[in-house]
Structure 1
Amino acid sequence: MPLKKKNNRIENRLRIILSAAILLLIILSIVSYRSLNSFKVKSAWVAHTSEVLFNVQRLLVELKDAENNHRAYLVSEDETFRRPYINSKIGVMEYYNESQELTRDNSKQQKRFKQLLTLIDKWYALVEDIHIAKEDSILNKAMIKTSLKREIDVMENIQSIISLIEETEENLLKKRNNDVDIALEENYLIISIFAALTLIIILLAYLHFIRDIQLRSALEDQLQESIHRLSQTNQELEQFAYVASHDLQEPLRKVISFSDIILRKHAEQLDEKGRTYFDRMINSTERMQTLIQDLLNFSRSTRNIGDRKSIKINNLINEVLEDLSESIHEAKGKVKLKLTTETTINGTPVQLRQLVQNIISNGIKYRKKDTNPVLKIKTKIIPAVKLEQKIPLLVSEEFIEITINDNGIGFDEQYLDKIFTIFQRLHGRSEYSGTGIGLAISKRVVENHNGYITAKSEVGKGSTFFIYLPVETKA
Structure 2
Amino acid sequence: MHFSVHKKIRIGFFIAFTVIVAASIFSYLVAKNLLDNAGRLNHAIEVSKRLEVITRQLKEAEAAIRGYNLTTDSSFLNPSMQERINSIEKEYLLLRKITADNPRQQRHLDTLRELLAIKYQQLKVGGQISTEDKQQSSVKEGERSMDMIDRKVRDMIRIEENLVQEKYQLFHFFSVMWVPMIFISSLAAILIGIYSYVTLTREFKLQLHIESRMKSYQRDLQQNISLLNKTNQELEQFAYVASHDLQEPLRKISTFSDRLQMKYKEQLPPDATQLIDRMVSAVSRMRVLINDLLIFSRAGRITPEIVTEVDMNRLLQEVLSDLEVTLEEKNVLVKYDQLPLIEGSDTSFHQLFQNLLANAIKFASPERPLEINIHHQILTGQELGVVKENRWNDLFCRISLEDNGIGFEQAYAERIFLIFQRLHGISEYSGTGIGLAICKKIIDSHNGYIQAYGYPGKGATFVIILPLKQSHKSDTHIA
Q: What displacement does 1:177 show?
A: 3.8
Output the CA distance in 2 between the equivalents of 1:332 and 1:268.
42
Alignment of 1:45-60 (within 5 A): 45-60=33-48
Output the CA distance in 2 between the equivalents of 1:132 and 1:395.
100
The question of whether the paired residues in 2 share the 8 Å contact of 1:36 and 1:187 is answered with: no
Q: In the superposition, relative to structure 1, how do residues 458 and 285 fare at CA in structure 2: closer, same or farther (>3 Å)?
A: same
Q: In the superposition, relative to structure 1, how do residues 160 and 314 fare at CA in structure 2: closer, same or farther (>3 Å)?
A: closer
Q: In the superposition, relative to structure 1, how do residues 159 and 463 fare at CA in structure 2: closer, same or farther (>3 Å)?
A: closer
The question of whether the paired residues in 1 share the 8 Å contact of 2:378 and 2:396 is answered with: yes
Pair 1:384 & 2:384 matched: no
The question of whether the paired residues in 2 share the 8 Å contact of 1:43 and 1:180 is answered with: no
Output the CA distance in 1 between the equivalents of 2:367 and 2:282.
28
Q: In the superposition, relative to structure 1, how do residues 443 and 387 fare at CA in structure 2: closer, same or farther (>3 Å)?
A: farther
| Number of the residue aligned with 2:350 | 353
Q: In the superposition, relative to structure 1, how do residues 178 and 90 fare at CA in structure 2: closer, same or farther (>3 Å)?
A: farther
Output the CA distance in 2 between the equivalents of 1:300 and 1:460.
34
Output the CA distance in 2 between the equivalents of 1:257 and 1:328.
34
Equivalent position to 2:276, from 268, 274, 278? 278
Output the CA distance in 1 between the equivalents of 2:111 and 2:341.
109
Output the CA distance in 1 between the equivalents of 2:460 and 2:366.
16
| Number of the residue aligned with 1:3 | none
Pair 1:83 & 2:78 matched: no
Q: In the superposition, relative to structure 1, how do residues 206 and 268 fare at CA in structure 2: closer, same or farther (>3 Å)?
A: same
Q: What displacement does 1:213 show?
A: 4.4
Q: What displacement does 1:188 show?
A: 5.3
Q: What letter matches 2:322 in structure 1?
A: D
Output the CA distance in 2 between the equivalents of 1:118 and 1:150.
15
Q: In the superposition, relative to structure 1, how do residues 272 and 375 fare at CA in structure 2: closer, same or farther (>3 Å)?
A: farther
TM-score (norm 2): 0.76
Please identify, of 204-213 and 461-470, the stretch whose mean Cα deviation from structure 2 is larger: 204-213
Q: What displacement does 1:190 show?
A: 6.0
Q: What displacement does 1:67 show?
A: 0.7
Q: In the superposition, relative to structure 1, how do residues 149 and 16 fare at CA in structure 2: closer, same or farther (>3 Å)?
A: closer
Output the CA distance in 1 between the equivalents of 2:450 and 2:411.
16
Q: What displacement does 1:62 show?
A: 1.4
Q: In the superposition, relative to structure 1, how do residues 339 and 170 fare at CA in structure 2: closer, same or farther (>3 Å)?
A: closer
Cα deviation digits, residues 260-308 of structure 1 (max 9, x gap): 3333322333333332233233323433333343344334336547952
The question of whether the paired residues in 1 share the 8 Å contact of 2:315 and 2:350 is answered with: yes
| Number of the residue aligned with 2:56 | 68
Gaps of 5+ in 2: 65-76, 127-133, 472-479
Q: In the superposition, relative to structure 1, how do residues 61 and 197 fare at CA in structure 2: closer, same or farther (>3 Å)?
A: farther
Q: In the superposition, relative to structure 1, how do residues 372 and 271 fare at CA in structure 2: closer, same or farther (>3 Å)?
A: farther
Matched residue of 1:140: which SS?
helix
Equivalent position to 1:442, from 419, 439, 443? 439
Q: CA RMSD for the aligned pairs?
A: 3.9
Please identify, of 273-282 and 141-150, the stretch whose mean Cα deviation from structure 2 is larger: 141-150
Q: In the superposition, relative to structure 1, how do residues 305 and 262 fare at CA in structure 2: closer, same or farther (>3 Å)?
A: farther
Output the CA distance in 2 between the equivalents of 1:150 and 1:374.
121
Pair 1:471 & 2:460 matched: no
Q: What displacement does 1:87 show?
A: 4.6
| Number of the residue aligned with 1:317 | 316
Q: What letter matches 1:422 in structure 2?
A: I
Q: What displacement does 1:322 show?
A: 3.0
Alignment of 1:95-114 (within 5 A): 95-96=98-99, 98=101
Q: What displacement does 1:447 show?
A: 1.4
Please identify, of 206-215 and 425-434, the stretch whose mean Cα deviation from structure 2 is larger: 206-215
Q: In the superposition, relative to structure 1, how do residues 97 and 193 fare at CA in structure 2: closer, same or farther (>3 Å)?
A: farther
The question of whether the paired residues in 1 share the 8 Å contact of 2:381 and 2:396 is answered with: no
Cα deviation digits, residues 295-330 of structure 1 (max 9, x gap): 443343365479523133233223323333343344
Output the CA distance in 1 between the equivalents of 2:194 and 2:27.
22
Q: Which has the larger radius of gyration?
A: 2
Identical aligned residues as a percent: 28
Q: What displacement does 1:48 show?
A: 2.3
Q: In the superposition, relative to structure 1, how do residues 432 and 87 fare at CA in structure 2: closer, same or farther (>3 Å)?
A: same
Output the CA distance in 2 between the equivalents of 1:375 and 1:170.
95
Alignment of 1:93-172 (within 5 A): 93=96, 95-96=98-99, 98=101, 128-137=117-126, 139-145=137-143, 148=146, 166=164, 169-170=167-168, 172=170
| Number of the residue aligned with 1:420 | 417
Cα deviation digits, residues 209-249 of structure 1 (max 9, x gap): 65554344333322211221112211321232134312344
Output the CA distance in 2 between the equivalents of 1:323 and 1:195.
76
Q: What letter matches 1:312 in structure 2?
A: D
Pair 1:28 & 2:24 matched: no
Q: What letter matches 2:318 in structure 1?
A: E
Output the CA distance in 1 between the equivalents of 2:180 and 2:99.
32
Please identify, of 330-339 and 278-287, the stretch whose mean Cα deviation from structure 2 is larger: 330-339
Output the CA distance in 2 between the equivalents of 1:55 and 1:42.
20
Q: In the superposition, relative to structure 1, how do residues 334 and 84 fare at CA in structure 2: closer, same or farther (>3 Å)?
A: same
| Number of the residue aligned with 2:306 | 308
Matched residue of 2:463: which SS?
strand
Cα deviation digits, residues 131-160 of structure 1 (max 9, x gap): 434445555344445655665576567656
| Number of the residue aligned with 1:429 | 426
